[in-house]
Structure 1
């Protein structure tokens, strides 16, 4: 079984189901990417894995443990970190204060982790005293990812990390995401830039109307003519 798996999940936000027998998984050190058209249930699937909505069938397993009934806060304590697409920094707090807020559950010395974040994102070290709200969109995303890494997660979940950033910044963020995965952290990512995301993905999931349409390695999905035609612009 995968290190993290949301297995055969069916559910939604209270009304009609958005997810239908949907399965999403990621192994340790693996980048798993969820792609698909607008309204496909991509972010919903990720939020279900993180416990932000109820599923009435299926389960979520982390490192062999059934965590389906746990709150998002309890899942953070188990080693999961979630970076939402928007409102993901404290704009009136400095970069370093944002990182410190990410370590709120920890009782050990956090300085080494802060240094690791600055090594991963050097621009944040340069701007550590600057308020996060004064940064560019790409830099704010780096703060959000850095704050999530302060929890020392086993799983890092990213909802549209490159939304609204330039292609150059997108490439840089993806390079950093690859570096994070190489440390053994599982990455589960929802991404609209499907072609670029699948290019770095170990595993890809194409969702349509809350259901798994295609599941394969990122490269295999890139090479699949049906996937290319329907979801990657030819």
Structure 2
């Protein structure tokens, strides 16, 4: 198949009558990392939610593997191979780590233990804490649980909304390393990230949004090298 695995093409829409996105296009290729960055209020998370079907778009189209999924519910998109990790409220705190991962396999009818082992290989600390309540873990470990649960659905596209929010720089680097590992398995990553410079360093494709519109689109390295992007969005 040629073309992106997932594309939100020329999306216009928002919440109620107010449009937040204006002719916004976001896409990710197979096994690549696409990052959405921009100032606060730029519509980054709104673009992710539009792609995942959490809000209606008045214009434009969302396609997954070439198929128009614009009208599908988020649940139906999960069944088609999309997984979404929201920024907050993304684990079941009273359940154990293992139970959280099992919840990620709720749509599956096959033996998911191999996938769980793959998650434990990716995040070894979760194997050590598999019997512990997820709510007792550190912020970075809870984020690993959230990503691991999403991977249990065996997605073709993994969407992450601010995965490093509130974690230390060391934990952020570790999470980014794991995200790169996931992409190497062929899973496409679409990510909104406040730490723009660090995110663009690992990005195959970067989208800079301003007021719900595409301002810059290029490879992560090209955006990092662009003087205007550096001056306006990366602190010089």
Category of TM-score, reference length = shorter chain: over 0.9
Matches within 5 A, 1:104-119: 104-119=106-121
SS state at 2:158 partner: strand
Cα distance between partner residues in 2 of 1:89 and 1:16 = 31
Question: Which of residues 156, 171, 174 in structure 1 aligns to 2:173?
Answer: 171
- 2:162 corresponds in structure 1 to 160
Residue aligned with 1:17, SS: strand
**Using the alignment, how far apart are the partners of 1:197 and 1:39 within structure 2?**
18
The CA RMSD measured in Å over matched residues stands at: 0.4
Q: CA deviation at 1:16?
A: 1.1
| TM-score, normalised by the number of residues in structure 2 | 0.99
Query: 2:70 corresponds to which residue?
Result: 68
Matches within 5 A, 1:131-210: 131-210=133-212
Moved over 4 A (4+): none
Residue of structure 2 equivalent to 1:227: 229
For residues 86-143 of structure 1, the C-alpha deviation after alignment (integer angstroms, 9 at most, x for no partner) is 0000000000000000000000001100000000000000000000000000000000
TM-score, normalised to structure 1's length?
Answer: 1.00
Unaligned runs of 5+ in 2: none
Alignment of structure 1 residues 78-117 onto 2, 5 Å: 78-117=80-119
How many residues are paired up? 234
* 2: CA distance, partners of 1:4 / 1:96: 30
CA–CA distance in 2 between the matches of 1:40 and 1:15?
A: 18
1:1-44 Cα shifts (integer Å, max 9, x gaps): 31110000000011310000000000000000000000000000
Query: C-alpha separation between the residues in 2 aligned to 1:13 and 1:185?
Result: 30
| Pick aligned residue for 2:58 from 45, 56, 59 | 56
